[in-house]
Amino acid sequence: MLLNVVLATLVTTGGFWLIWQEPEWGSVMGWALAVAGFLWWKAGSVTEIWAWSTLGLGVQSVVWPIQRMIQFHNAAGTLSDEEMGAILSAVVMGLFSAVFWLSFSYGLFQRARKVAATSVQDSLSGSSPLKVARRRAQ
């Protein structure tokens, strides 16, 4: 599970680094520690770790076009055609990526909820893990 926390932290930190384009290393390390701490605290399984990290990627995909718009707006009062094209590309790709990652996250959360409900139901019924495995195999 620790390996998955580390990998999920690296993935979301990579997204953070791509959004802010050359951020200070202190903010990148702060982000990585915050994400790792949150995943370690909140996620109880590997599925939940990746559900939370893909949710983070979905949110980052929504933030990326907004950040690009703010960046171009602060750089100049009037936007050139190239800058408008870059903003349009960021909005289209950000929307596409956000829908993908948020849908993927939703599916992982649903799977985690289903597995948790099944394990609680099996423990309440007094079934041994061996009986449960045999019943699922049939």
Specify the residue for token string 């983070």: 56
Q: Report mean pLDDT in 10-residue bins for the chain, 138 residues.
A: 94 91 90 95 92 96 91 78 89 95 96 82 62 55
Sequence-ordered list of residues with C-beta below 8 angstroms from that of 112, at least 6 positions apart, any chain:
45, 47, 48, 51
For residue 22, what are its two tokens?
């050359």
Distance CA 135, CA 138 (A): 5
Domain boundaries, the chain: 2-137
Q: What is the pLDDT of residue 120?
A: 65
Q: What is the pLDDT of residue 74?
A: 76
Q: What is the pLDDT of residue 9?
A: 96
Q: What is the pLDDT of residue 124?
A: 65
